[in-house]
């Protein structure tokens, strides 16, 4: 067994998937669920995802070797403060938040002496939320980014690396600020844009809206999947990665304005050039093995 006892705080999609992965791969003798919702605790117990489920987060970490914070980014500091007094000497605390600099800022001051904190972010998810939505395979062949600080003990980094590898993930180590910039581009901006475009459609008159749904397969549908992601989680992401998001959003807006102007001025050459360049990135993603099964199916079909 890798750990004697693991506490997961927050049993949503990620937390509950992690519990299932731990069970599947036998990574702990005991799993404890800490979740402030009694309803979630009941569900966790009825699904047999943990040996115990407690709404008192402070109590839930007692005696655990590993504590994983799987709550929205805006709650990390508060939860860390609450559990700090009960953390076991030598325990590792990690998290799964989509923003790393602010999570470290918020939690750092509460980490007790003798406890190892190492921030992490599994790049995995679906548009579904809650403990029923999780599955053990969520992390398989996906990246997990760890963002240790200068003072983080190498042993803790190694242990968390082995843990995520056992869940099927590939590990990448980078600085928290760099993480927030890269994810700002690959994840936060795309989600913001998807939320916007689906929101724009949502504001249309009802008769047009029903047709938008009917003919959604023509492009719009691809945006609705990510725009169905958990609103609390994403509110906290944008509030806590403000600078990187606003910076990349500024670039995006400039590029969109340039295309808008080209459409207005009927500048076909500019449009063609812009649209031709973006194909290469898709090929690079397919080459990097990051394309999804649907694509692979289509590629096979056209062989």
Whether residue 31 contacts residue 8, with contact meaning beta carbons closer than 8 Å, is answered with: yes
Contact call for residue 163 and its own copies (CB under 8 A): no
Member of 42, 149, 295, 296 binding its own copies (CB under 8 A): 295
CA distances from 81 to 10, 13, 78, 194 (A): 15, 24, 5, 34
For residue 187, give both structure tokens. Answer: 């994840």
Minimum Å gap between C-beta 94 and its own copies is 19
Q: Residues 14-43: x/- map of binding to its own copies (CB under 8 A)?
A: ------------------------------
Between 6 and 192, CB nearer to its own copies: 192
Q: How many positions of this chain bind its own copies (CB under 8 A)? A: 107
Contact call for residue 208 and its own copies (CB under 8 A): yes
Between 113 and 278, CB nearer to its own copies: 278
Contact call for residue 226 and its own copies (CB under 8 A): yes
Sign of the four-CA dihedral 178, 282, 13, 62:
negative
Minimum Å gap between C-beta 166 and its own copies is 20
Distance, in Å, from the CA atom of 134 to the CA atom of 27, rounded to the nearest integer, reads 17
CA distances from 78 to 53, 82, 152 (A): 20, 6, 21
Contact call for residue 206 and its own copies (CB under 8 A): no
Contact call for residue 274 and its own copies (CB under 8 A): yes
Between 61 and 138, CB nearer to its own copies: 138
Distance, in Å, from the CA atom of 257 to the CA atom of 263, rounded to the nearest integer, reads 10
Contact call for residue 192 and its own copies (CB under 8 A): yes
Member of 42, 108, 149, 202 binding its own copies (CB under 8 A): 202
Cβ neighbours of residue 280 closer than 8 Å, sequence gap 6 or more: none
């Amino acid at each position: 067994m890798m750990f004697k006892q693991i506490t997961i705080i927050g049993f949503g999609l990620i937390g509950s998937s992690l519990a299932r992965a731990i069970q599947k791969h036998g990574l702990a003798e005991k799993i404890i669920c800490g979740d402030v919702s009694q309803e979630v605790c009941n569900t966790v117990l009825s699904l047999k995802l943990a040996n115990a489920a407690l709404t008192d987060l402070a109590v839930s970490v007692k005696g655990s070797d590993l504590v994983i914070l799987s709550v929205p980014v805006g709650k990390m500091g508060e939860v860390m403060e609450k559990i700090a007094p009960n953390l076991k000497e030598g325990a590792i605390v990690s998290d799964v938040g989509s923003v790393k600099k602010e999570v470290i800022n918020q939690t750092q001051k509460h980490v007790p002496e003798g406890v190892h904190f190492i921030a992490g972010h599994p790049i995995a998810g679906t548009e579904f939320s809650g403990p029923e939505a999780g599955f053990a395979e969520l992390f398989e062949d996906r990246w997990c980014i760890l963002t240790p600080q200068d003072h983080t003990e190498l042993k803790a980094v190694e242990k968390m690396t082995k843990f995520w590898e056992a869940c099927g993930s590939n590990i990448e180590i980078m600085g928290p600020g760099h993480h927030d910039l890269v994810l700002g581009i690959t994840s936060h901006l795309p989600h913001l844009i998807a939320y916007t475009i689906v929101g724009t459609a949502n504001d249309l008159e009802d008769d047009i809206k029903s047709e938008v749904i009917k003919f959604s397969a023509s492009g719009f549908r691809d945006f609705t999947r990510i725009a169905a992601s958990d609103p609390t989680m994403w509110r906290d992401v944008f509030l806590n990665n403000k600078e990187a998001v606003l910076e990349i959003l500024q670039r995006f807006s400039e590029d969109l304005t340039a295309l808008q102007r080209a459409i207005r001025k009927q500048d076909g050459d500019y449009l063609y050039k812009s649209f031709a360049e973006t194909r290469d990135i898709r090929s690079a993603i397919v080459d990097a093995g990051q394309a999804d099964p649907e694509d692979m199916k289509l590629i096979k079909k056209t062989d």
